[in-house]
Structure 1
């Protein structure tokens, strides 16, 4: 396992950072924001949603 990790790391050194593409697949959206929250007694819960 250690040899495989070292081989992977060595292979990363040959990559050109200008050719790397990162894809965000978290699938988060603003509809996932909570509609209810908690606050100390007597205070309103206020929070902005993106």
Structure 2
């Protein structure tokens, strides 16, 4: 597990609050995208530098 990843327990708490709509992110990519946003705010980097 890398520094940016959430534990499974943390993800179980967060996932019900995230919208998965008809046109929203695919459920299998939602966690990856959410962790990318967390990484961006932790590092104070620019959006274009996101992994």
Which of the pair has the greater relative contact order for Cα pairs under 8 Å at 6+ separation?
2
* TM-score where L is the length of structure 2: 0.27
* TM-score where L is the length of structure 1: 0.28
**Could you say which structure has the higher helix fraction?**
2
